[in-house]
Amino acid sequence: MKPPPFEYHAPDSLEEALDLLREHGDEARPLAGGQSLVPMMNFRLARPSVVIDLNQVPGLSELDAADGVVRCGAMVRERAAERSAVVHERAPLLAAALPLIGHEAIRTRGTLGGSLAHADPAAELPAVALAAEAQLVARSAERGERVLGADEFFAGFFTTALEPDELLVEIRLPEVPAGSGVRFEEVARRQGDFAMVGVLAVLHTADGVIDDARLALIGVADRAVRAREAEAALIGAKADAGAFAEAAATAARDLEPMSDLHGSSAYRKHVAERLVQRALQGAAEAAGVR
Amino acid sequence: MTDPVQIDLVVNGQPRSAAAEPRRLLADFLRDDLGLTGTHVGCEHGVCGACTVLVDGEPVRSCLMFAVQARGAEVRTIEGLAEGGRLNPVQEALWNSHSFQCGFCTPGFVMQITALLEENPTPGEAEIREALSGNICRCTGYQSIVEGVLRAAGHDVPTAAH
């Protein structure tokens, strides 16, 4: 349970970090908060020969909002985001997800960018990125900056569209319409454990009729997923229990979750349906419906 | 660069330094290189909370941080709490509630509780349970620990039977 030896670099500029990443490519792993990478190294499931520690790189921990977009540096700690007034006022999806991530002593180190780039299919932040229709900014020494939509960023089980020489440097979260209701529901064995299933619901209504609906699910596939068909069915519907039950059935219908020690595929599917219903109900209440 | 590097930091108010390989976990550095064995190493993958210490005031898992990353940091461990050989008020409250049994999880809990009370001196029971959710105790069933924190936070808690 000790990590294997590695070459350690702590660059103090982004340029240097990107140069190191270009030089070492696949052999290197960037170290953000280390709350996933270090356990994997302790178990020797990950054995990078080079570790590029990003904690000394300036400029990656900014958090601000302008022109309807909340911009988060990739190294913003989850705990810092949790305490941020900007997040609470302008990024309610993120605010809803943060308390569900691990425990306090995990969030004090864990970073927004680290979690997204790790792409755990049961992690909360990918659901936020998908539902918020986030833009993820990647940089490399060779090709400079490119901006990826959340729907193209997550490529599968612990896999993203990032190239080996690319670093996720910023997350841009467009603000949701004012008055949107948000609810993140999940079922885990223990508070702070990875969710067996989680659902993030965002609803906006006008005169009791839904005009914006977003559903992102975690723990049910090889990556976080949007329930597009269920969302489409909600638009134009009255925000009531009947519509939510129907949407939940639609959202769960085509899921094929994996079975593991914690729950069978059928159980996860059942939980997903119930949680969609519950999250929609909660989001409707948060939006002030009824 | 896999060779030992010099690590200078402040631990419990004292400047300390030692050389360690970059792969040295902060928990092992504290225990084996600085001789501070009060920090306990349980699961070594960030699940049990036994190795929790404060780094620049924030609770962290010292098994999920490399010692080299703590260069220049201010670290507080269980050894730094007692004042002149006397339990500090938080330790005293936990003692009076018989919060712990075998003692293995104790240092992690006490550091997490210290962080909680420094940020929020008067937490309610729900906040206490939330803050302690990342620390595992296999002896007590947690009631006595929660009671100890309530006591430390100034709530009126009957003294446990001796």
pLDDT tens, residue by residue, B63-112:
999 999 999 999 999 999 998 999 999 999 999 999 999 999 999 999 99
A101 to chain B, closest Cα gap in Å: 11
| Number of domains observed in the structure of chain B | 2
* Yes or no, beta carbons of A6 and B22 under 8 Å apart: yes
Interface ipTM: 0.94
| Number of domains observed in the structure of chain A | 3
B18 to chain A, closest Cα gap in Å: 17
Does residue B159 carry a pLDDT above 90? Answer: no
Residue A1: closest C-alpha in chain B: B44
Q: What is the CATH number of the domain that holds B140?
A: 1.10.150.120
Q: What is the CATH number of the domain that holds A118?
A: 3.30.465.10
Mean residue pLDDT of chain B comes to: 95
Cβ-based neighbours of A253, under 8 Å, separated by 6 or more:
none
* Residue at a domain's end among A174, A195, A215: A174
Asked if residue A49 and residue A70 are part of one domain, the reply reads: no
Asked if residue B100 and residue B46 are part of one domain, the reply reads: no
Asked if residue A186 and residue A169 are part of one domain, the reply reads: no
The pLDDT tens digits of the residues spanning A5-17 come to 999 999 999 999 9
Asked if residue B72 and residue B9 are part of one domain, the reply reads: yes
Residue at B128 is within a domain: yes
Amino acid code (one letter) for B114: T
Chain A and chain B share a number of CB contacts under 8 A equal to 92
Are A141 and A112 in contact by the 8 Å Cβ rule? The answer is no
Residue at A98 is within a domain: yes
Which residue in this structure is represented by tokens 């997204």?
Answer: A116
B125 touches A: beta carbon within 8 Å: no
B136 touches A: beta carbon within 8 Å: no
* Yes or no, beta carbons of A108 and B58 under 8 Å apart: yes
Residue at A1 is within a domain: no
Amino acid code (one letter) for A21: L
* Yes or no, beta carbons of B25 and A2 under 8 Å apart: yes
pLDDT at residue A25 in the model? 86
Print the domain residue range for A124: 63-174
Nearest to B133 by CA among A256, A60, A106: A106
Residues B24-51 have a mean pLDDT of: 97
pLDDT at residue A193 in the model? 86
A8: phi then psi, degrees, rounded to nearest 5: -110, 130
pLDDT at residue B160 in the model? 58
Residue at A2 is within a domain: no
Residues of chain A with pLDDT under 70: 290
What are the Cα distances from residue A103, in Å, to A76, A83, A95, B3, B76? 16, 14, 15, 33, 19
pLDDT at residue A108 in the model? 98
Asked if residue B14 and residue B32 are part of one domain, the reply reads: yes
Residue A6: closest C-alpha in chain B: B2
A8 to chain B, closest Cα gap in Å: 6
- For chain A positions 52-91, those within 8 Å of chain B (CB to CB) are 53, 55, 79
Asked if residue A216 and residue A146 are part of one domain, the reply reads: no
Asked if residue A33 and residue A119 are part of one domain, the reply reads: no
pTM to 2 decimals? 0.96
Distance (Å, rounded) from C-alpha A272 to C-alpha B103? 40
Does residue B161 carry a pLDDT above 60? Answer: no
pLDDT at residue A213 in the model? 98
**Environment class of residue A175 by beta-carbon count within 10 Å: exposed (0-12), middle (13-18) or buried (19+)?**
middle
Contact list in B for residue A104 (CB cut-off 8 A) is 59, 112, 115-116, 131, 134
pLDDT at residue B40 in the model? 98
* Residue at a domain's end among A53, A71, A90: A53
Print the domain residue range for B67: 5-80
Residue at B161 is within a domain: no
Asked if residue B141 and residue B106 are part of one domain, the reply reads: yes
